[in-house]
C-alpha cells in the first residue's frame, strides 16, 4: 500500500482537541495545535515521576489548560468510571494520541465526534506493536517512516489517515531516525492530520494484511539477549536496534588481558552500544576479549571493540555498559578513569549554572554534582530535551551519546566544556614524570611520548638521559621514540585530521582553543621558564621574557588568524551561453611533521606549531633530543586546554631515528625543520624521495652586522654584544661576523671587551645572571675547538675562549679581531658566544656589501648608521631574509622570519607562515 501524501492546508474549522500522551513530543504537538487555532480542552498524561512532571503536563498548565494525570485508565479490563466521566467532561471533538504509552479504553477512543487519531513510528501495517522503530532496524529495513491512523480496538490496525516514508541506512540508530525524521516530521504530521480532519479531507484507508508484522515489545530482559550464532549483519542490526535503550546484552566470564579467570563462577553483564560495520581491510591490534558463542575472540583496540561474527563479518562497538557503568569500549581493560580537573573560565562557570538550571527544570529536583540523570527518572525523550536546551543556552551541539556516557551532572558539564573547547576526552592528565622543588616553586613535567592525547612509553623501551647543563646532573630519563612510535603518532594525527573532533569544529572554535592554550601557558609561565632553564641552560629571566613570553604571544597571534584564512573569487572567461564562477579555498595540508632545535625549545615549537594548527592541520613534533622537557609540559597543557586527541603528538628521541622517520613517513604531507644546513639537506632529500612532501627549512646562519663610523656608538656596542652573546650565542640569527669601520674599530673593540668583562656568568636561575651554561657538552667542546682553529689561523683572541673552571658547561664569552675573510671562523657558524670582528673602509660601500654577501648563508643581517640612505642601500642589497637597521634581534610574532640561500626557505611567524601549512584549491562552477 503506497503512503498517503496530502498537501498541507490550514484548518478551516477549529476543533476542540483532547491530547492523550506524554513527553516532549506531545508537548510540541500541543504547540502546533494551538498555533493552528484549535482549542486544546484537556491534556491526559501520566503521573509525575517523583517531583518531575511530564513536559506535556507542564506546557498545558502554563497555558491554563486542564491537566489530568492517571496511573491507568482501566482495572481488570474495564474503564474506571470516574476517569471516564472526567474525560467526557472536556467535551472534545477529537482525541490526538502522540507518543501514548498507556492503553486507552475504546469508550474513550470512540467517544468524540471525530473519534481518535494516533501516531505510530512505522509504515503500517509493517512493525505493529510498541517497539516498531527498534524492529525497523533489527530487521534491516532500508525504509522507515511514520503513520497517523484512526485508532480502533486492534493493535495498530486502524484505518490510515496519513503516512510519511524516509530512507534508512545501515548506519542509522533509533536516535538518528528519531532526530532526523520521526520526531520533527511526526509532530508536523499530527498537526497536519488534525487540520485535514477539520477540513473534511482526512481519508480512512483500510490497512491491508499483506506485509503486516506483529513484533513483540522489547521490554523484558530476555528480549535483549544477543544470539551470537547469527551473522555479522544481523548482530549489527540487533545492537543498533537496541542502541538507545536498553542495550543489546550478553554475559561474559571475568577476564583480563591475560585471559579468562577460570576459577570464577561469576558472570559480567555487558550491554553493547554504537555498532558499525568494520570495513577496514587490515587486522587491528589489541587485547582479546572472550565472548561465549563467538568462534574468534573480540579485540579491545584503540577505536573500540572489534567483533568478528561466526560468518566472518566484523562490527565495531563504541560503548559498553559493564555491570551498569557506561564506558568507552577501548577502555574495557583500563582502570576506572579519574575525572578531569579543568581550569574554568568565568564564561564556563556561568555555563555550568545555566546547565544546572536545565537539569533542574527537567528532573524537578535540586541538582548536585553527583546527581545522576537517569537514576533521577529521566528517559530517552528527556535526553532529546536536554540536548536541545543546552543548544539554546550555549549553541553547543551535543549528541545523545554525550548524555548516555556522562550521566552525573559533574561528568556532564565536564564533557560539555571539553566539547566546547574542541576536545572529546574526559581523562585526567596521567603520566610518568618528575616532580621537583626548584627556583622557589614546585614543578612537574612528563617524561613519556605524547601520542593520541596520552603519555605512553616507547615501543623500544629505550630512554635518553637529560642533563642539566648548569651542574651536569641527570634531571631524568625520557622515552626514546622508535620508528613504530612515530608511525603510531602519524596514524593518530591522520585520524584526528580526517575523522576526529578537530575536523568538525569551525575555524573560530579552533581559535578559541588556541587562545585557551595560550592562557594556560601564561598561567604556567614561571614553571615553563624554570623547566627551560634547567633543561637548556637559558637564563631564567630571559626564558620568562623570550623563550616563554614570545611563545605565548605567538599562540595568541595565530589564534586570531584561525577565522581569517580566506580564498578569493576570480573572474574568468565564460563558456557561453553559460557563465562561470571560479573561487579558491585555502585548505590545511593534513598531517605535518615538525623538527625543532635545542636553542629555544619552546619558542621554536610555538613558532611552527601555532601556524600549523591555526591552519587546521594536525602535527607530529620531535623536539631536540637534549632538551625535550618543555615540549612535553606543553603537551600536558594541550590536554588541559581541550585540544582533541591526536591533534598534537610529541615524539622524543634522536634525530637520526625519530627525526628521520618523520622525514621518511609517506603519510606526512609537510615537514618543518629548524637546524643545521647539513641536516636540512638530508631532510630535503628524504622529503623528496619519500612522497615529495612539502618542506620548509630554517637552517644555519653567518649573519653580517655592518657598523659605520657615523653610528650611535653606545647603541652599536650594546646591540653588537647582544647580536652575539644573546642566549649564550645559541641564536640562529646571531651576528656571525661584525664588520666595523676602521675609524671606530679600536674604540668599538675596547668598549666591547670592557662591557663583556662585566657580564655575570653563573646559575641561570639566579636573577642577576646574564650568561648561563652552553646547552650541552658536545656543543661546548665544539666551541673550544672553534676557538683553537681561530687562533691557529692567526686571528687575535682578545678576550675569553675558555671553559670556566667550575661544574657545568660554562664557556667564557669570546672576542676575536683581525679576522680575514679566508679564515674558517669567518665562514663557519659557531652558534656560540664568539664575536668575530673585521675592519672595513667606508670609502667602498660595494666592497663591504660584497664581503657581507660572501657566504652561502642568508638568514639575517644588520647595519648601524645615521645615514638613512646608506642604511636603505645596504638593506636593499644584502642577501638575507631579515635586515635590522640600528637594532638587532628585534623579532616579532607578526613579522615573517626566514632565510635565503643555504639558510633555507619558507617563513615562520607573520601571515606568511600560514602559507607553509596551507594549500590552495581552485573551484570552477558553470551555471
| pLDDT value at residue 388 | 84
Q: How confident is the model at residue 2 (pLDDT cuts 50, 70, 90)?
A: very low
In whole angstroms, give the CA distance from residue 558 to residue 521: 15
Report whether 622 contacts 659 (CB < 8 A): yes
In whole angstroms, give the CA distance from residue 165 to residue 663: 53
In whole angstroms, give the CA distance from residue 87 to residue 93: 12
In whole angstroms, give the CA distance from residue 600 to residue 620: 18
C-alpha cell at 87: 474525560
In whole angstroms, give the CA distance from residue 11 to residue 194: 8
Q: How confident is the model at residue 336 (pLDDT cuts 50, 70, 90)?
A: very low
Residue owning grid cell 613519556: 448
CA dihedral for 81, 85, 87, 93, sign (positive or negative): positive
Residue owning grid cell 517497539: 131
| pLDDT value at residue 282 | 61
- List the one residue out of 445, 376, 452 whose CA is nearest residue 407: 376
Report whether 815 contacts 825 (CB < 8 A): no
pLDDT at 32 over 70: yes
Q: Which of 300-304, 630-634, 666-670 comes out lowest in average pLDDT?
A: 300-304
| pLDDT value at residue 264 | 83
- List the one residue out of 616, 835, 584, 817 whose CA is nearest residue 705: 835
**From the candidates 401, 532, 698, 829, which is the catalytic residue?**
698
> In the annotation, is 732 catalytic?
yes
In our burial notation (b when 16+ CB lie closer than 10 A, e otherwise), range 103-141 reads ebbebbbebbebbbbbbbbbbbbbbbbebbbbbbbbeeb
**From the candidates 38, 100, 120, 501, which is the catalytic residue?**
120
Report whether 250 contacts 228 (CB < 8 A): yes
pLDDT at 427 over 50: no
Kindly give, in sequence order, each residue whose CB lies less than 8 Å from that of residue 921, ignoring residues fewer than 6 positions away.
Answer: 584, 585, 586, 587
Q: Which of 12-16, 444-448, 814-818 comes out lowest in average pLDDT?
A: 12-16
CA dihedral for 603, 608, 611, 616, sign (positive or negative): negative
C-alpha cell at 909: 611567524
Cβ neighbours of 324 (radius 10 Å): 7
Report whether 308 contacts 284 (CB < 8 A): no
| pLDDT value at residue 330 | 85
Mean local confidence (pLDDT), 193-220: 94
pTM of the shown model: 0.69
Report whether 621 contacts 596 (CB < 8 A): yes
| pLDDT value at residue 642 | 87
C-alpha separations of 15 from 147, 216, 402 in Å? 21, 35, 41
- Beta strand ranges found along 502-576 (DSSP E): 569-570
What are the pLDDT digits (tens) for 93-116?
999 999 888 899 999 999 999 999
H-type helices in 153-217, by residue range? 174-177, 183-198
H-type helices in 562-659, by residue range? 601-614, 629-641
What are the pLDDT digits (tens) for 520-568?
999 999 999 999 999 999 999 999 999 999 999 999 999 999 999 999 9
For β-strands 433-438 and 441-446, DSSP reports them as: antiparallel
**From the candidates 100, 562, 732, 829, which is the catalytic residue?**
732
Mean local confidence (pLDDT), 253-270: 87
Mean local confidence (pLDDT), 780-801: 97
In our burial notation (b when 16+ CB lie closer than 10 A, e otherwise), range 425-450 reads bbbebebebbeeeebeeebebbbbbb
DSSP one-letter code for 849: H
pLDDT at 846 over 80: yes
Report, in this order, helix, strand and coil percent for the chain, each rounded to 5. Answer: 35, 25, 40
C-alpha cell at 756: 663583556
Cross-strand pairs, 272: 248, 320
Q: How confident is the model at residue 245 (pLDDT cuts 50, 70, 90)?
A: confident
Report the half-sphere exposure of 805 (CA within 13 A, side-chain side). 0
Kindly give, in sequence order, each residue whose CB lies less than 8 Å from that of residue 684, ignoring residues fewer than 6 positions away.
Answer: 695, 697
> In the annotation, is 476 catalytic?
no
| pLDDT value at residue 425 | 41
C-alpha cell at 332: 574495557
- List the one residue out of 384, 383, 394 whose CA is nearest residue 352: 394
| pLDDT value at residue 9 | 63
* Whether residue 246 has a cis bond before it, omega within 30° of 0: yes
pLDDT at 379 over 90: no
Q: Which of 368-377, 688-697, 727-736 comes out lowest in average pLDDT?
A: 368-377
User: What domains are defined for the chain?
Assistant: 16-199 (3.40.50.170), 221-331 (3.10.25.10), 350-421 (1.10.1200.10), 433-503+589-698 (3.40.605.10), 704-898 (3.40.309.10)
Mean local confidence (pLDDT), 723-752: 97
| pLDDT value at residue 504 | 86
| DSSP string for residues in 319-370 | EEEETTEEEEGGGTTSPPPPPP-----HHHHHHHHHHHHHHHHHH-S---TT
- List the one residue out of 807, 782, 786 whose CA is nearest residue 469: 807
* Whether residue 125 has a cis bond before it, omega within 30° of 0: yes
Axis crossing angle, helix 380-394 with helix 346-363, rounded to the nearest 10: 150
pLDDT over 70 for what percent of the chain? 97
Q: Which of 168-177, 412-421, 812-821, 882-891 comes out lowest in average pLDDT?
A: 412-421
Q: How confident is the model at residue 432 (pLDDT cuts 50, 70, 90)?
A: confident
Report whether 881 contacts 906 (CB < 8 A): no
* Whether residue 577 has a cis bond before it, omega within 30° of 0: yes
Report whether 838 contacts 855 (CB < 8 A): no
- List the one residue out of 894, 917, 920 whose CA is nearest residue 560: 894
H-type helices in 758-867, by residue range? 777-793, 824-827, 845-853
Q: How confident is the model at residue 36 (pLDDT cuts 50, 70, 90)?
A: very high
What are the pLDDT digits (tens) for 128-140?
999 999 999 999 9
- List the one residue out of 9, 33, 6 whose CA is nearest residue 20: 33
Mean local confidence (pLDDT), 743-756: 97
CA dihedral for 12, 16, 21, 25, sign (positive or negative): positive
In whole angstroms, give the CA distance from residue 695 to residue 789: 34
> In the annotation, is 120 catalytic?
yes
pLDDT at 724 over 60: yes
Q: Which helix H or strand E contains 747, and what residues bound it?
A: helix 742-757
- List the one residue out of 808, 799, 856 whose CA is nearest residue 469: 808
| pLDDT value at residue 428 | 59
Q: How confident is the model at residue 800 (pLDDT cuts 50, 70, 90)?
A: very high
**Phi and psi angles of residue 330, each rounded to the nearest 5 degrees, phi first:** -70, -15
| pLDDT value at residue 403 | 83
CA dihedral for 8, 9, 10, 13, sign (positive or negative): negative
C-alpha separations of 22 from 44, 70, 97, 177, 444 in Å? 8, 11, 9, 19, 54
What are the pLDDT digits (tens) for 226-236?
999 999 999 99
C-alpha cell at 697: 627549512
Cβ neighbours of 80 (radius 10 Å): 16
3-state secondary structure of 188: helix
In whole angstroms, give the CA distance from residue 6 to residue 494: 49
In whole angstroms, give the CA distance from residue 595 to residue 605: 8
Report whether 857 contacts 703 (CB < 8 A): yes
Report whether 274 contacts 401 (CB < 8 A): yes
In whole angstroms, give the CA distance from residue 110 to residue 530: 81
| pLDDT value at residue 101 | 86
C-alpha cell at 568: 578569493
| DSSP string for residues in 669-738 | -EEEEES-HHHHHHHHHHHHHHH--EEEEE----EEEEE-TTS-HHHHHHHHHHHHHGGGG--TT-EEEE
Q: How confident is the model at residue 341 (pLDDT cuts 50, 70, 90)?
A: low
Cross-strand pairs, 706: 739, 863
Q: How confident is the model at residue 342 (pLDDT cuts 50, 70, 90)?
A: low
Amino acid at each position: 500500500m503506497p503512503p498517503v501524501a496530502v498537501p498541507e492546508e490550514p484548518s478551516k474549522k477549529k476543533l476542540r482537541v483532547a491530547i492523550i500522551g506524554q513527553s516532549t513530543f506531545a508537548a510540541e504537538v500541543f504547540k502546533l495545535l494551538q498555533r493552528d487555532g484549535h482549542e486544546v480542552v484537556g491534556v491526559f498524561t501520566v503521573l509525575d515521576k517523583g517531583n518531575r512532571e511530564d513536559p506535556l503536563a507542564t506546557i498545558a498548565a502554563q497555558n491554563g489548560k486542564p491537566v489530568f494525570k492517571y496511573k491507568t485508565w482501566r482495572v481488570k479490563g474495564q474503564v474506571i468510571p470516574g476517569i471516564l466521566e472526567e474525560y467526557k467532561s472536556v467535551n472534545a471533538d477529537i482525541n490526538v494520541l502522540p507518543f501514548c504509552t498507556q492503553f486507552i479504553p475504546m469508550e474513550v477512543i470512540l467517544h468524540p465526534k471525530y473519534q481518535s487519531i494516533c501516531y505510530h513510528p512505522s509504515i503500517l501495517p509493517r512493525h505493529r506493536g510498541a517497539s516498531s522503530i527498534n524492529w525497523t532496524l533489527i530487521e534491516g529495513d532500508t525504509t522507515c517512516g511514520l503513520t497517523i491512523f484512526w485508532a480502533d480496538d486492534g493493535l495498530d490496525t486502524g484505518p490510515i489517515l496519513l503516512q510519511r516514508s524516509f530512507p534508512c541506512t545501515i548506519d542509522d540508530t533509533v536516535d538518528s531516525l528519531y532526530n532526523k525524521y520521526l520526531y520533527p516530521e511526526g509532530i508536523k504530521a499530527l498537526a497536519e492530520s488534525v487540520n485535514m480532519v477539520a477540513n473534511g479531507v482526512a481519508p480512512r484507508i483500510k490497512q491491508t494484511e499483506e506485509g503486516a508484522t506483529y513484533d513483540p515489545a522489547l521490554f523484558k530482559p530476555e528480549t535483549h539477549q544477543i544470539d551470537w550464532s547469527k551473522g555479522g549483519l544481523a548482530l549489527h542490526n540487533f545492537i543498533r536496534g537496541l542502541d538507545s535503550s536498553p542495550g543489546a546484552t550478553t554475559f561474559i566470564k571475568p577476564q583480563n588481558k591475560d585471559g579468562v579467570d577460570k576459577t570464577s563462577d561469576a558472570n559480567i553483564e555487558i550491554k553493547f552500544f554504537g555498532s558499525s560495520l568494520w570495513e577496514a581491510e587490515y587486522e587491528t591490534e589489541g587485547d582479546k576479549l572472550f565472548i561465549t558463542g563467538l568462534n574468534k575472540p573480540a579485540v579491545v583496540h584503540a577505536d573500540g571493540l572489534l567483533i568478528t561474527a561466526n560468518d566472518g563479518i566484523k562490527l565495531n562497538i563504541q560503548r559498553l555498559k559493564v555491570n551498569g557503568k557506561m564506558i568507552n569500549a577501548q577502555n574495557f581493560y583500563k582502570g576506572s578513569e579519574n575525572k578531569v580537573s579543568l581550569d574554568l573560565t568565568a564564561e564556563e562557570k556561568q555555563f555550568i549554572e545555566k546547565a544546572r538550571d536545565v537539569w533542574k527544570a527537567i528532573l524537578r529536583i535540586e541538582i548536585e554534582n553527583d546527581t545522576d540523570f537517569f537514576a533521577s527518572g529521566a528517559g530517552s525523550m528527556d535526553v532529546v530535551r536536554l540536548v536541545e536546551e543546552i543548544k539554546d543556552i550555549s549553541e553547543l551541539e551535543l549528541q545523545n551519546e554525550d548524555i548516555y556516557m556522562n550521566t552525573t551532572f559533574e561528568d556532564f558539564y565536564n564533557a560539555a566544556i571539553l566539547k566546547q573547547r574542541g576536545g572529546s576526552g574526559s581523562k585526567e592528565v596521567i603520566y610518568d614524570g618528575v616532580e621537583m622543588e626548584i627556583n622557589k616553586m614546585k614543578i612537574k613535567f612528563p617524561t613519556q611520548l605524547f601520542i593520541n592525547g596520552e603519555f605512553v612509553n616507547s615501543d623500544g623501551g629505550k630512554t635518553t638521559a637529560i642533563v642539566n647543563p648548569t651542574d651536569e646532573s641527570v634531571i631524568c630519563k625520557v622515552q626514546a621514540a622508535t620508528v613504530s612510535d612515530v608511525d603510531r603518532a602519524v596514524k593518530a594525527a591522520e585520524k584526528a585530521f580526517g575523522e576526529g573532533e578537530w575536523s568538525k569544529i569551525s575555524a573560530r572554535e579552533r581559535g578559541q582553543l588556541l587562545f585557551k592554550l595560550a592562557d594556560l601557558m601564561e598561567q604556567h609561565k614561571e614553571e615553563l621558564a624554570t623547566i627551560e632553564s634547567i633543561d637548556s641552560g637559558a637564563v631564567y629571566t630571559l626564558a620568562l621574557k623570550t623563550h616563554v613570553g614570545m611563545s605565548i604571544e605567538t599562540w595568541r597571534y595565530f589564534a586570531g588568524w584561525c577565522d581569517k584564512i580566506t580564498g578569493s573569487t576570480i573572474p574568468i572567461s565564460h563558456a557561453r551561453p553559460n557563465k562561470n564562477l571560479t573561487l579558491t579555498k585555502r585548505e590545511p595540508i593534513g598531517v605535518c611533521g615538525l623538527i625543532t632545535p635545542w636553542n629555544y625549545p619552546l619558542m621554536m615549537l610555538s613558532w611552527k606549531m601555532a601556524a600549523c594548527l591555526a591552519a587546521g592541520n594536525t602535527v607530529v613534533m620531535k623536539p631536540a633530543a637534549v632538551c625535550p622537557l618543555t615540549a612535553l609540559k606543553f603537551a600536558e597543557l594541550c590536554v588541559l586546554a581541550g585540544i582533541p586527541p591526536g591533534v598534537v603528538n610529541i615524539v622524543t628521541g634522536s634525530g637520526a631515528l625519530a627525526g628521520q622517520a618523520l622525514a621518511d613517513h609517506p603519510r606526512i604531507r609537510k615537514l618543518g625543520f629548524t637546524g643545521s644546513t647539513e641536516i636540512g639537506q638530508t631532510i630535503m632529500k628524504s622529503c623528496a624521495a619519500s612522497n615529495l612532501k612539502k618542506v620548509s627549512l630554517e637552517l644555519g646562519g653567518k649573519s653580517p652586522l655592518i657598523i659605520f663610523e657615523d653610528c650611535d656608538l653606545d647603541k652599536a656596542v650594546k646591540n653588537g654584544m647582544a647580536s652575539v652573546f644573546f642566549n649564550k650565542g645559541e641564536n640562529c640569527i646571531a651576528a656571525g661576523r661584525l664588520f666595523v669601520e676602521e675609524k671606530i674599530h679600536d674604540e668599538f673593540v675596547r668598549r666591547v671587551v670592557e662591557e663583556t668583562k662585566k657580564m655575570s656568568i653563573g646559575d641561570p636561575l639566579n636573577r642577576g645572571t646574564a650568561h648561563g651554561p652552553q646547552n650541552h657538552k658536545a656543543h661546548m667542546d665544539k666551541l673550544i675547538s672553534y676557538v683553537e682553529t681561530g687562533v691557529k689561523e692567526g686571528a687575535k683572541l682578545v678576550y675569553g675562549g675558555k671553559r670556566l673552571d667550575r661544574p657545568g658547561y660554562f664557556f667564557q664569552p669570546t672576542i676575536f679581531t683581525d679576522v680575514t675573510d679566508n679564515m674558517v671562523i669567518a665562514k663557519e657558524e659557531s652558534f656560540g658566544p664568539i664575536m668575530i670582528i673585521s675592519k672595513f673602509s667606508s670609502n667602498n660601500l660595494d666592497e663591504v656589501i660584497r664581503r657581507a654577501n660572501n657566504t652561502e648563508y642568508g638568514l639575517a643581517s644588520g647595519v648601524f648608521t645615521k645615514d638613512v640612505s646608506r642604511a636603505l642601500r645596504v638593506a636593499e642589497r644584502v642577501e638575507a631574509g631579515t635586515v635590522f637597521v640600528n637594532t638587532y634581534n628585534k623579532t616579532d610574532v607578526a613579522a615573517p622570519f626566514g632565510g635565503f640561500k643555504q639558510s633555507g626557505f619558507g617563513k615562520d611567524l607573520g601571515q606568511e607562515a600560514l602559507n607553509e601549512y596551507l594549500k590552495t584549491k581552485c573551484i570552477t562552477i558553470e551555471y
